[in-house]
Amino acid sequence: MVGTTPHGAIGGHEVVLVGDGVALRPHTRATLPALKRWYADPDLVRLARHRNVPLSSDEVERLVRERFTTTQMLAFALYERTRTGEQLIGSCTLANLDSGNQTATLHLMIGEPSARGRGLGTEATRLVTGFAFDTLGLHRVSLTLFSFNVAALRCYAKAGFLEEGRMRDAILRDGQRWDEIQMGLLATDAR
């Protein structure tokens, strides 16, 4: 379902996607403190970024300013829907939007520890890929993750993504080398 955006959106779009347990809305100034907290969290940085160094507040501001507002990205604040409203739990983006090739790259971060392992990431992934295929007319959504991130691998597989390849020993974490896994989902897979 597509709705309207809250006033003060900083994501460069007005798309709102609402599911049973989650809602995806444009980032606003109100979501910036959570983004700054998440990108400064060493545990989250370890899972999601090649650069294993937390981002400073200024770096997050620059990321939002330079990347969230481009035509090649739809950046969403991820909310858990509850009986009493919505609680911000993460961020989800469709990046590298390429209408000519009908492709995009998915990034998902469940920032709040209490929201992990409850299927909210899977629902958000299904919601955003459904939008990518049905509304944007994309053919392919891809993503990468590190092989030690078992929870993310399980989430994406439940949402229909297939492993397409590995870059062996691509990342060094905790004194050990890990593979970077490439996954993809086609519009024809999602039907």
10-44 pLDDT, tens per residue? Answer: 556 788 999 999 999 998 888 989 999 998 998 88
Domain count within the chain: 1
CA dist., res. 165 & res. 172, Å (int)? 18
172 inside domain = yes
170 contacts 179 by C-beta, under 8 angstroms: yes
> Is 2 part of a structural domain of the chain?
no
Does 1 fall in a domain? no
> What contacts 33, CB < 8 A, 6 or more positions away?
none
CATH number of the CATH domain containing 139: 3.40.630.30
The one-letter amino acid code at 137 reads: G
Average pLDDT over every residue of 46-58: 82
- 174 domain residue, yes or no: yes
Report if residue 8 sits inside a domain: no
- Asked, for residue 147, whether it belongs to a domain, the answer is yes
Residue 181 lies in a domain: yes
Q: Which domain holds residue 129?
A: 17-186
3-state secondary structure of 118: coil
Whether 150 is in a domain gets the answer yes
Tens-place pLDDT, residues 111-145 = 999 999 999 999 999 999 999 999 999 999 999 99
The predicted model scores a pTM of 0.88
